[in-house]
Amino acid sequence: MDVLRLAAVSFTLPSFYRFSSAPTIERRHGVEKSYIQIAIEEFSRRHPEVKLVKSMISSREISELESRLRIIIPDTVKDYFRSYILPVQFVTGKMLGDFSNTYCEETGRWRRLEIEEEIATTVLRLPLMLPNNDLSEFEEVNRAFAGTGYLWLGIYNGENYVLIETQSGQIFQADMERVRLTAEEETRADILQWALPFFHSFEELARCFFAGELYDEDELIFPDE
């Protein structure tokens, strides 16, 4: 599906805001906010060139989407949908792990990771990022994943699906070439065979890609904790 392919565009981001923990709900100025919303707001505060647009997606719209697809969307993903529309095509994260390439934010291109470099810059595209400002993309893609126990959340490094397991909330990545989007049983079988653990939760994903914390993809930990 062309809608799943990450466009190769140039977007330069400075250093990200760092959080020390990831509570689900916080109260700020008398208003309760989800960690996801706080992370995105801090991201924008540190990057004034990124002008957030408040999401107009309602709880009712999300419920109707769940009914159409016969799925249950985890609460943290609902928090993301109700937070903001991001006027960027992707965000980047700093990773430790077995990487051969890194994304160069200055040139907007991928390059080989030098031997002496330990940290790779990775790229993540999620729903509600340019050019999408509603849930149509999320709904279209998840017609292929509905019934598998997993939902599509985006594309990692232009070649891996990012999936959330709907019961546990754990985040997985799976090579797009290995997952057949043909029938529910085949799709689920391919996910179970090829998907790799990515983050323990959607909050952890936000810590890396919005709050800018260094993440070890192999050990599934934040090494600076």
* Domains detected in the chain: 25-216 (3.40.1580.10)
**What is the pTM assigned to this prediction?**
0.85
Per-residue pLDDT averaged across 34-63, rounded? Answer: 91
| Lowest-pLDDT range of 127-136, 156-165, 184-193, 199-208 | 127-136
pLDDT at 10: 31
Question: What is the pLDDT confidence band of residue 132, given thresholds at 50, 70 and 90?
Answer: confident
Give me the residue label for tokens 């999936």: 163
CB-based burial, 100-114: b 16+ in 10 Å, e otherwise:
eebbeeeeeebeeee
**Backbone CA torsion sign across 145, 163, 1, 187:** negative
Residue 68 has pLDDT above 60, yes or no: yes
As a whole number of angstroms, the distance between CA 58 and CA 55 comes to 8
Per-residue pLDDT averaged across 98-123, rounded? Answer: 95
- Name which residue leads in pLDDT, 12 or 101: 101
Which three-class secondary structure state does DSSP give residue 215?
strand
Give me the residue label for tokens 């999401």: 55
Question: What is the pLDDT confidence band of residue 19, given thresholds at 50, 70 and 90?
Answer: very low
* 183-223 pLDDT per residue, tens: 999 999 999 999 999 999 999 999 999 999 999 999 999 99
Q: Which residues contact 224 (CB under 8 A, 6 or more apart)?
A: 213, 214
pLDDT at 31: 60
pLDDT at 209: 95
**Chain centre distance of CA 39:** 13
Rg of the chain over Cα atoms, rounded to whole angstroms, equals 17
What stretch of H or E contains 34? strand 31-34
Q: How far apart are the first and last CA of the chain?
A: 39
